[in-house]
């Protein structure tokens, strides 16, 4: 068996492992890829019309700028994660009102004491009564007054009543014609 066929079989197996679902797939270029492209460009350039130094410096500075922006983006994302984690930790020991979906798919409020915070599947969560809740489910720090919730319900009912009244007024202004028997 020739060495080339062993090498080809190894490369094919490595490529299959690389392309497996759930593994890292490379869709962007990094600085190493960029340097490989420049090296290939220099190797394959026309000797009668070589690449100018200013063009090469321009490409290198563009790559440097892109790399700096990528690092800045990663730093900002990291700072955001730290801020959210610190915020969730500051809520420990506080009473909160949560929006919770019941079995019918309706939203209900739940009041409880936050006993801990952490990360679950990449999302920051708080623990109330032994269950994990997303930070986005927190409606208020503390308990929402019952009057406020009732006022919201009454306001919605009044809006519905006003709409019904308007419809009734139009019906009252029209004359009814009764069929003769």
The answer to whether residues 121 and 132 touch, using CB atoms and an 8 Å cutoff, is no
Q: How far apart are CA 34 and CA 56, in angstroms?
A: 12
**pLDDT computed for residue 8 by the predictor:** 47
What distance separates the 2 farthest-apart alpha carbons in the chain?
Answer: 108
Reported as a single tens digit per residue, the pLDDT across 31-62 is 788 788 888 888 888 778 777 788 878 888 88
> Who contacts 132 (Cβ-Cβ below 8 Å, separation ≥6)?
118, 120, 125, 126
pLDDT of residue 79 exceeding 90, the answer is yes
Reported as a single tens digit per residue, the pLDDT across 93-112 is 999 999 898 888 888 889 99
For 114, other C-beta atoms within 10 Å of its C-beta total 22
The listed range with the strongest mean pLDDT (12-21, 111-120, 161-170) is 111-120
Beta bridge partners of 117: 126
**pLDDT computed for residue 46 by the predictor:** 79
**pLDDT computed for residue 161 by the predictor:** 53
What average pLDDT is seen over the chain?
Answer: 75
**pLDDT computed for residue 179 by the predictor:** 52
**pLDDT computed for residue 25 by the predictor:** 52
């Amino acid at each position: 068996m020739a060495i080339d066929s062993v090498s080809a079989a190894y490369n094919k197996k490595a490529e299959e492992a690389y392309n497996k679902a759930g593994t890292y797939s490379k869709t962007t270029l990094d600085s190493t890829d960029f340097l490989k492209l420049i090296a290939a460009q220099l190797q394959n350039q026309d000797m009668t019309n070589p690449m100018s130094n200013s063009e090469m410096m321009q490409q290198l500075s563009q790559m440097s700028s892109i790399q700096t922006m990528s690092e800045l983006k990663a730093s900002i994302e990291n700072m955001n994660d730290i801020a959210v984690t610190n915020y969730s930790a500051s809520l420990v020991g506080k009473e909160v009102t949560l929006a919770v979906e019941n079995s019918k798919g309706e939203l209900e409020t739940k009041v409880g004491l936050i006993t801990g915070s952490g990360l679950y599947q990449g999302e920051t969560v708080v623990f109330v009564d032994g269950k994990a809740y997303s930070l986005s489910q927190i409606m208020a720090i503390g308990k929402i007054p019952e009057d406020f919730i009732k006022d919201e319900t009454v306001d919605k009912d009044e809006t519905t009543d006003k709409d019904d009244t308007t419809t009734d007024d139009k019906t009252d202004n029209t004359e009814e014609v009764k069929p003769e028997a």
